[in-house]
Amino acid sequence: MAAAEEPPANWASGSEDELVRELLDDETPLFLLPGDDYPFLGSEYSGSLSTIDVPPAINRSTLNLYSGPTLEDIESALSTTKQSLGLTEELGTSRTSTVSLIEKGFNKVDNKYTLKIKSSGSTMADDGYKWRKYGQKSIKNSPNPRSYYRCTNPRCSAKKQVEKSKDEADTLIVTYEGLHLHFAYSHFLRSRPVMSFVPELIQPKKRLKLPSDPANPDQGHQEVLQITTSTTSTCRDDHEEEPAAVVAGAGELGAEDAVSNMGTSFQAQGLLEDIVPLFVRNPLNLSAALSNNETCLLSSSPPSSSSTSSVCWSPPSPYVDVGILSGIL
DNA sequence: CGGCTTTGACCAGCGC
DNA sequence: GCGCTGGTCAAAGCCG
């Protein structure tokens, strides 16, 4: 168990807020600076961050923007999503979107979240994080093995387990565990085609050259996979310097400046707690962010709770790209 | 050659 | 106490 990258002891005992804060105290990258333009925030916020509750002067170690997403933050963001989905209908989408707030299932102590993902034969998925597989086990009463992954980001202690559903062959069950709540990451960043707040990522073919993915020869999924990889491939490639949407924002500030405050680990990957505050403070962005093309069921799994609260929506496309899942397939 | 995956072994928790 | 089960370790192999 005692791996070299094992987090400090207090990770296991401190509260989520404390842990997040501790992380952010020293290493929080500063993506956004007042006075700069942030086109990725959308037209409503073009101009300066002062319009979105940013102090006039930000010490780079000041964490006003990144006090850390609590579960309430995420819940709030998802709640906003529910409202925002109404905009989707206004845009002409006939989908019936159902977003029921997670009211009971969230468990601060355990921080375990389970995603049921319709993979529809797509063997490759990506939630924007790079995971290192550290184990695989056959599970009793399940024909499919379970794979264990750790987040390779040294700032992050998150883990996830991935297994195929025994009931539905095309459904993957991904259980996220850990401080950084990776489960929600993809919900915020997955919808690049309408992510007006991350325009640089909307034009990946110009900004990000997409390598052909030999692991995904399925041309039938090409469009979806393009969206997927262009959003997240940089996160998975340690040598790239645009780890995620938020970091792309940092890039807008000037790579040197941002990177010098990021630390190399963040160059490789953005963390959810780094971005959630943005969504919480900018709920309008979620209207775009959540009109994505996933079929997703999210449920928390507190050990002592029988409730299965969920966040779910039923978009047209069955494809989902959460998790580096090929290990179990 | 370094990083990643695979896979059997080991360990801890839990129920009986 | 014992066995079962899930989670993790770590050596070996693979791959780019």
How far, in Å, is the CA of A267 from the C1' of nucleotide C1? 52
Structure tokens that stand for A140 in this block: 């009793």
Q: Is residue A174 within a helix (H) or strand (E), and if so which, with residue range?
A: strand A171-177
Other Cβ atoms within 10 Å of A52 Cβ, number = 18
Core vs surface per residue A190-222: b (16+ CB within 10 A) or e: bbbebbbbbbbbbebeeebeeeebeebeeeebe
Q: What is the mean pLDDT of residues A258-278?
A: 42
Report whether pLDDT(A157) > 60: yes
Residues 62-121 of A with CB under 7 A from strand B: none
Indicate whether this model's pTM tops 0.75.
no
Kindly report, residue by residue over A162-180, the tens digit of the pLDDT: 888 777 777 778 787 765 5
What is the pLDDT of chain A when averaged over all its residues? 46
A130 touches strand B (CB under 7 A): yes
Query: What pLDDT score does A142 carry?
Result: 79
Kindly report, residue by residue over A44-60, the tens digit of the pLDDT: 333 333 333 333 333 33
Residue A21 has φ and ψ, to the nearest 5°, of: -65, -40
Q: Is residue A296 within a helix (H) or strand (E), and if so which, with residue range?
A: strand A296-300
Report whether pLDDT(A271) > 50: yes
Q: What is the mean pLDDT of residues A12-38?
A: 40
Core vs surface per residue A292-316: b (16+ CB within 10 A) or e: bbbbbbbbbebeeeeeebbbebebe
Taking each continuous run of H as one helix and of E as one strand, the counts in chain A are 12, 7
Query: What pLDDT score does A71 carry?
Result: 53
Q: Nearest residue to nucleotide C5 when comparing alpha carbons to its C1'?
A: A140
Residue A225 near residue A204 (C-beta atoms within 8 A): no
- Bases on strand B under 7 Å from any protein CB: 4-9
Kindly report, residue by residue over A97-145, the tens digit of the pLDDT: 333 333 333 334 455 777 777 655 433 345 566 788 888 888 887 788 8
Structure tokens that stand for A253 in this block: 């500030």
Q: What is the DSSP letter of A218?
A: -
> What span, in angstroms and rounded, lies between the C-alpha atoms of A216 and A239?
21
Query: What pLDDT score does A76 carry?
Result: 58
> What span, in angstroms and rounded, lies between the C-alpha atoms of A293 and A224?
9
Query: What pLDDT score does A178 carry?
Result: 66
Q: A135 pairs with which residues across the strands?
A: A148
Query: What pLDDT score does A171 carry?
Result: 76
A137 touches strand B (CB under 7 A): yes
Higher pLDDT, A192 or A226: A192
Cβ partners under 8 Å of residue A65, min gap 6: A30, A32, A54, A58, A277, A278
A132 touches strand B (CB under 7 A): yes
> What span, in angstroms and rounded, lies between the C-alpha atoms of A156 and A269?
10
Amino acid at A191: S
Query: What pLDDT score does A295 carry?
Result: 43
A135 touches strand B (CB under 7 A): yes
Query: What pLDDT score does A166 carry?
Result: 72
Query: What pLDDT score does A37 carry?
Result: 39
Kindly report, residue by residue over A296-312, the tens digit of the pLDDT: 444 444 433 333 333 33
Q: What is the mean pLDDT of residues A265-291?
A: 47
Higher pLDDT, A16 or A178: A178
Residues across chain A = 329
Highest mean pLDDT of the ranges A12-16, A110-114, A159-163, A286-290: A159-163
CA nearest A118: which of A303, A252, A280, A315? A315
Amino acid at A232: T
Query: What pLDDT score does A221 carry?
Result: 34
Kindly report, residue by residue over A203-230, the tens digit of the pLDDT: 333 333 333 333 333 333 333 323 333 3
Q: What is the mean pLDDT of residues A14-42?
A: 40
Strand A171-177 to strand A112-118: parallel, antiparallel, or no bridges (unpaired)? antiparallel
Query: What pLDDT score does A110 carry?
Result: 52
